Amino acid sequence: MPSKNHFSTLYLSAPDVIELVQRKGVEACLRGIADYIQSDFLRWGSFDKSARVASHSRDGVIELMPIADDQTYAFKYVNGHPKNTRWGLPTVMAFGVLADVATGAPLLLSELTLITALRTAAMSAVAARALARPGARTMALIGNGAQSEFQALAFHHLLGVTTLRLFDTDPAATAKLQANLQGTGLRTVVCTSTAEAVRGADIVTTVTADKTNATILTPGMLVPGMHINAVGGDCPGKTELHADVLRQAQVFVEYTPQTRIEGDIQQLPADFVVTELWEVLAGQHTGRASDAAVTVFDSVGFALEDFSALRFLRDAATELGMGQPIELIPQLSDPKNLFGLLRTHNPLLRAVA
């Protein structure tokens, strides 16, 4: 509960968050965010949930992602603009807020561009721990752009993946990924096509950026026991999997009403059966039916994951003594006299008084 006489919001800038991740370490942040996500998904029924609100344009989308439990409200502002690299901007940019439900007072304002990449990768690993075959050590990584390093490291640290089979239509992206993964212990194999990359892979992660109905993965590429982590298809009109891949697999989602609009399952009828991941984590539904089953995590990104990431950030910043207090909300000696702020600070109004 904020002080009666003064209230400030903790602000974490982009440099603050970079320093926070560097001080704690990428592995510790991935593990921490994954733990917070797992904990919050196990409280699924405690949250007031809704699909994100999206404003689509020719070149991208801007979205608001709200969620709350009975104590804390959170939202994330995030965009997705695949052409942004032409202008020297990330394809995804984000910031987020944690607020006190009892008062509405904003407790935390933070950059979330870097943290969105970490939380997306952590979410993928949480799902794969529940759905992939134990002992999976080889992953195909299709799409080697801004999210790829985070996915690679999450699967390496949280699942024990040791070999990556890489493909991207842009060879420079793959070279960038290889350079960034040097010294991590991951073995990388550069492939010339998606079909070559998935050959021998226990897990396939697709994380492409184009806002199109693409067929990155086709039924002929499936093998028994494969787990597919479909990350790139995350808005209407943007898919990565052939519809028959979904029909031949067990499909798991975050929040069904949102995924039916945005995920790869947008290609299929509304009665196509999917399972929400929280049910598996809570032991209310079986995950993989057998070692031979093909599982798909149709990931679109859900607000609860950002809630978890913001909680992690707040706790980590408190632990490390980081962030700056900012007066995002006016300080009022009389909460009923908002106009009084203008009379106090404007010399012309003060003169009239």
- Residues 25 and 72 occupy one common structural domain: yes
Give CA separation, 34 vs 283, 311, 345, in Å.
18, 12, 47
Asked if residue 339 is part of any domain, the answer here is: no
CB atoms within 10 A of CB 298: 30
Amino acid at 21: V
Measured in degrees and rounded to the nearest 5, phi and psi for residue 69 equal -110, -160
CB atoms within 10 A of CB 24: 16
Q: Which of 147, 311, 113 is nearest to 231 (CA)?
A: 147
Q: Which of 139, 181, 179, 182 is nearest to 163 (CA)?
A: 139
Asked if residue 153 is part of any domain, the answer here is: yes
- Residues 246 and 153 occupy one common structural domain: yes
Q: Which of 191, 74, 83, 87 is nearest to 139 (CA)?
A: 191
Asked if residue 279 is part of any domain, the answer here is: yes
For 120-138, b/e burial (b = at least 16 CB within 10 A) is: bbbbbbbbbbbbbbeebeb
- Residues 160 and 230 occupy one common structural domain: yes
- Residues 151 and 285 occupy one common structural domain: yes
For 32-41, b/e burial (b = at least 16 CB within 10 A) is: bbbebbbebb
Asked if residue 246 is part of any domain, the answer here is: yes
Asked if residue 341 is part of any domain, the answer here is: no
- Residues 264 and 149 occupy one common structural domain: yes
CB atoms within 10 A of CB 326: 13
- Residues 292 and 153 occupy one common structural domain: yes
Q: In what order do the strands lie in the sheet with 203-206?
A: 187-190, 163-167, 138-142, 203-206, 227-230, 295-298, 250-253, 275-276
Asked if residue 197 is part of any domain, the answer here is: yes
- Residues 73 and 217 occupy one common structural domain: no
Give the side-chain half-sphere CA count within 13 A for 348. 0
pLDDT of residue 82: 82
Asked if residue 119 is part of any domain, the answer here is: no
How many domains does the structure of the chain reveal?
A: 2
Measured in degrees and rounded to the nearest 5, phi and psi for residue 18 equal -60, -45
Domain that holds residue 105: 9-114+305-331
pLDDT of residue 233: 83
- Residues 176 and 27 occupy one common structural domain: no
List of residues 6+ apart from 123 with CB closer than 8 A: 34, 37, 254, 299, 301, 305
- How is residue 298 annotated by DSSP? E
- Residues 240 and 319 occupy one common structural domain: no
Per-residue pLDDT 10s for the chain (353 aa) are 455 556 899 999 999 999 999 999 999 999 999 999 999 999 999 999 999 999 989 888 899 999 999 999 999 999 988 889 899 998 889 999 999 999 999 999 999 999 999 999 999 999 999 999 999 999 999 999 999 999 999 999 999 999 999 999 999 999 999 999 999 999 999 999 999 999 999 999 999 977 677 899 999 999 999 999 999 988 888 899 999 999 999 999 999 999 999 999 999 999 999 999 999 999 999 999 999 999 999 999 999 999 999 999 999 999 999 999 999 999 888 999 999 888 865 666 555 54
Which residues are the active-site residues? 234
- Residues 258 and 323 occupy one common structural domain: no
pLDDT of residue 121: 98
Pairing of strands 324-326, 9-12: antiparallel
User: Can you tell me the distance from the alpha carbon of 269 to that of 14, in angstroms, rounded to the nearest whole number?
Assistant: 41
Amino acid at 148: S
Q: Where are the beta strands (DSSP E) in the chain?
A: 9-12, 53-56, 61-68, 72-80, 94-100, 106-111, 138-142, 163-167, 187-190, 203-206, 213-217, 227-230, 239-241, 250-253, 275-276, 295-298, 324-326
User: Can you tell me the distance from the alpha carbon of 66 to that of 302, in angstroms, rounded to the nearest whole number?
Assistant: 9
pLDDT of residue 4: 58
Q: How many residues are given for the chain? A: 353
- Residues 199 and 173 occupy one common structural domain: yes
Asked if residue 96 is part of any domain, the answer here is: yes
Q: What six digits make up the tokens of 58?
A: 């020719």
CATH of the domain at 80: 3.30.1780.10
CATH of the domain at 163: 3.40.50.720
**What end-to-end distance do the CA atoms of the chain give, in Å?**
35
- Residues 287 and 312 occupy one common structural domain: no
